[in-house]
């Protein structure tokens, strides 16, 4: 049976609200949760970007059951991999073993803030592979000195190491990232229901490992209001990964989505309160082979009604998948 997750979308809510939201998701019966890790929102209308790891620490102590996960952190630019390893090990301890470390090659939107330019996609994946190796060695609790192609680590050691290190997930969008994930990850992460990505992941060593997808939704009893909100805050999501990873700030995303219409948005985001529309959207992921799907309710101020509706109507319907 597919596991249904809840997304703490840091781009659309402040830190205290995000913690309240995941507490509500746990009470509503969601199977797991994921958290975005942004320095900028995609569009100014979303309005937020608190520090994800601080939020996760608070969420770990405010909840008791629901698993937590970064979706995703880039361990190569804004954060050094040695720092990510320390953050992840600490989260695993704070949460009592409920944390998974989702990693990706990053977006210019968030990583540009530290300067140094934005590398090509192939170079970003090289850096990601090297970073994963460093993180895994530090999870073992030993002293690590590393002089690699992209990173230097000098006599680093994690002094608080969980008995079970956080499983590592890697986000994929094409063959190179699928090969990297198949070899290096404990699970695979994707934001589109593309069966070919999972087939590539399996071919390169991923067979039998969890596969986690993510789906934006816009619940509202007023369907027009749901569509308006999805268009206002999430019209960027249809641009595709090659574009989304390259644009440097929210203004660029506003310019790139000038011609995206509301009709375009409803083609990829279920809007309104018709349960079957949401179930069909999730089914696209399960049919592609995903074992877990995290939902993003669009609108930071729309989480409470969504969670109530999900508990009463949506989650029972999705359990039947």
CB 226 within 8 Å of CB 220: yes
List 11, 21, 26, 107, catalytic entry:
107
Q: How far is CA 221 from CA 33, 185, 228, 230, 301, in A?
A: 24, 40, 13, 14, 15
Residue 51 among the catalytic residues: no
Identify whether 313 is a catalytic site residue. no
Residues facing 144 on adjacent strands? 156
Cβ-contact 276, 269 below 8 angstroms: no
Task: State the DSSP string of 31-49.
Answer: SEEEE---SS-SSTTT---
Would you give the distance in Å from CA 107 to the centre of its chain? 12
Count of CB atoms situated within 10 Å of the CB of 97:
12
Residue 191 CA: distances (Å) to CA of 240, 273, 291: 10, 22, 13
Q: Which of 11, 21, 26, 38 is catalytic?
A: 38
Catalytic residues: 38, 107
């Amino acid at each position: 049976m597919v596991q249904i997750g809840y997304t703490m979308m840091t781009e659309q809510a402040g830190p205290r609200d995000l913690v309240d939201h995941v507490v509500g998701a746990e009470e509503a019966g969601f199977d797991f949760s994921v958290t975005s890790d942004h320095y900028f929102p995609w569009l100014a209308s979303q309005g937020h970007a608190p520090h994800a790891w601080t939020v996760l620490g608070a969420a770990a102590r405010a909840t008791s059951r629901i698993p937590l996960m970064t979706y995703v952190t880039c361990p190569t630019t804004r954060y050094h991999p040695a720092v990510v390893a320390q953050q992840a090990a600490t989260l695993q301890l704070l949460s009592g073993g409920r944390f998974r470390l989702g990693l990706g090659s990053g977006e210019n939107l968030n990583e540009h803030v530290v300067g140094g330019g934005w590398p090509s996609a192939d170079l970003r994946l090289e850096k990601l592979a090297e970073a994963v190796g460093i993180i895994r060695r530090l999870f073992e609790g030993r002293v690590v000195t590393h002089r690699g192609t992209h990173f230097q680590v000098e006599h680093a050691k994690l002094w608080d190491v969980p008995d079970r290190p956080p499983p590592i997930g890697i986000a994929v969008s094409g063959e190179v990232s699928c090969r990297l994930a198949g070899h290096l990850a404990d699970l695979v992460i994707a934001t589109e229901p593309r069966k070919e990505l999972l087939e590539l992941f399996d071919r390169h060593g991923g067979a039998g490992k969890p596969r986690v997808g993510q789906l934006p939704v816009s619940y509202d009893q007023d369907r027009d209001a749901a569509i308006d909100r999805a268009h206002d805050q999430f019209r960027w999501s249809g641009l595709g990964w090659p574009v989304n990873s390259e644009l440097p700030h929210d203004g660029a995303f506003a310019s790139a989505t000038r011609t995206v219409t509301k009709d375009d948005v409803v083609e990829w985001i279920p809007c309104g309160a018709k349960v079957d529309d949401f179930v069909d959207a999730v089914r696209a992921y399960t049919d592609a082979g995903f074992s877990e799907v995290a939902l993003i309710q669009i609108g930071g101020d729309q989480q409470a009604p969504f969670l109530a509706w999900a508990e009463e109507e949506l989650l029972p319907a999705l359990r039947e998948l």
